[in-house]
Amino acid sequence: MIEVWAPRAQRLRLRRWTDAAASPHDTELAPASDGWWRADVALAEGDRYGFVIDDADEARPDPSSRRQPDGVHGPSAAFDASTFAWTDAAWTGRPLAGGVIYELHVGTMTPEGTLDALIERLDHLVDLGVTHIELLPVNAFNGLWNWGYDGVLWYAVHEQYGGPRAYQRLVDAAHARGLAVIQDVVYNHLGPSGNYLPEFGPYLRDGQRNTWGDSIDLDEPAVREYIIENALMWLRDFHVDGLRLDAVHALHDEQPVHILQELAERVDALSAHQQRPLTLIAESDLNDPTLILPREAGGYGLTAQWSDDWHHAVHVALTGETAGYYEDFAAADAVAKVTRGGFFHDGTFSSFRGRPHGRPVPDTVPAWRLVTFAQDHDQIGNRAAGDRLSQTLSPGRLAVAAVLTLTAPGTPMLFMGEEWGASTPWQFFTSHPEPELGRATAEGRIAEFARMGWDPDQVPDPQDPETFERSHLDWAELDRPSHAGLYALYRDLIALRRARPELTDPDSSRNRVTVEVSADSAGNAPDARVYRIDRGALAVLVNLSPEPASFAVGAGDEVLLATGEALIVDGLITVPSESAAVVAPPEGPEAVSG
């Protein structure tokens, strides 16, 4: 049975090609209730097909297409997910609590840029110690390469990555190695090229736009179901363990039950049925704990949400940058506040927004429900040159970034290559085939950074293939001593996080942070800070000042990990400039050295 929601159609035909060389065959669909059309037709695996709306000449792809072998403007291809020979029957999933996420982009993670090539790098991630891999969007978009946020067919896996069957192979291989898979999905807008959904029905809200395009019309029940069914598809048909929901603040929903709550309820039901944890992580700039509060407490019941505030506070402490939205995070207590409470702006005035922003996270919310990171695709790629911390920080400060990230109370997330201090940038790249769209994208990028005071000469052309090529990881760096040492530190930190329960304590109220600040020579904003972060019996000691710093420690305390020559003498530990140490009483694990 073929069915499609097309309330704007007066006539609808299924056009199919059973042989590439033969002429297509058209079958009339019959109108049903609520804008649905149906035809009693069975498609064989691989059959090309599309829908002809009214008296048009060309067929459009299936709005729920599972495969687009010829791109988003071409016909769809029938795909049956149930025929894959899964080997993960014993997989019981991984909860997010206690986990470490690794964010990656399929197209630039490996030289080949495919899902099958990514399988060959999974053992590296197992050795590193991460528990969850998070893939940037893989749904079908126009062109060959893209970050993935210009998708127009949400049900199809981008063909250049290997298509849906390769995606199943990746998830199966990840589960075989004990790795959970989180898929980044975008439900707040559609890309600028190949979006034929409005020809079928009111998928978009007339006259309402967000940052990236027309808003999705969440007043339409069929559109809501289109989104929810897509989410369930990844979790059910592709065995994915969780979804990262892009920019949920751009989901304009006026219905009595917000779509995020509805989605969480449906996913929880699927989780109970499949008897494995299924994770929903929201990206939001609202600093609103409603997303992660339980439904019994008036929340939506999502698993977790990103904390950009944690990133901003740590970024300013490490780099000294205070321009734009970083300005407020120059406050001396910024790192302390996000360590204890998750959000810096919890009702405080945001100078970037020009108004009070955010709400406090209740003490009852476990710390792991906030995903924290020192680097991610946005915070690197949306810099003018796409430069990583490794391109601006000293080796000492880069090591401190690792310590702060992996001893934080939240669920830590790494961005691909961060673990060895990759020198390759991560830049904004597109491959729009339409010259006018490519030109508009490049010009818009330059204008955006000009408004922010960046030098436009630093902004690479997103349409230049070299921008894409530069953003690929260089795996040969792992064998070089300067990178191998940092990789060993990340691996040791993840092992330490797994060994010490204080580092995954869900109660942030038990954290204590002491900050010492020295001003620059003119007495302006602080440029050197010393932090002591007490997490139960364990202490994380960070020295970002130009001189050695001393901290009082308990009798018999041991150094569990240090990025420099940290020494304990007579109840004091001396931590060198631009380094960090982790100390705890002797009942802790044996000391390791970074």
The active-site residue out of 283, 308, 378, 502 is: 283
Query: Can you give the C-alpha Rg of the chain in angstroms?
Result: 25
- DSSP E strands in 261-402: the ranges are 279-282, 304-306, 348-350, 355-357, 370-372
Q: What share of the chain is helix, strand, coil (3-state, %, to 5)?
A: 35, 20, 45
DSSP summary character for residue 180: E
The token pair that represents 253 in the structure block: 């929903």
Largest CA distance in the chain: 87
The token pair that represents 486 in the structure block: 């940092």
| Residue 246 annotated to the active site | yes
The active-site residue out of 62, 246, 262, 477 is: 246
| Residue 283 annotated to the active site | yes
- Quote the Cα angle for 321-325-328, to 5°: 75
Q: Closest Cα partner for 381 from 146, 135, 122? A: 146
> How many residues does this entry show for the chain?
594
The token pair that represents 60 in the structure block: 């459009």
Mind giving me the DSSP string for 28-72? EPEE-GGGEEEE---PPTT-EEEEEETT-SS-B--TT-S--TT-T
Please, what's the b/e burial string for 116-144 (b: 16 or more CB within 10 A of its CB; e: otherwise)? bbbbeebeebeebbbbbbbbbbbbbbbbb
Rounded Cα distance between 48 and 74, Å, is 9
The token pair that represents 236 in the structure block: 């059910």
Q: Do 278 and 267 contact (CB within 8 A), yes or no? A: yes
Q: Do 311 and 374 contact (CB within 8 A), yes or no? A: yes
Rounded Cα distance between 300 and 259, Å, is 9
Q: Catalytic positions, please?
A: 246, 283
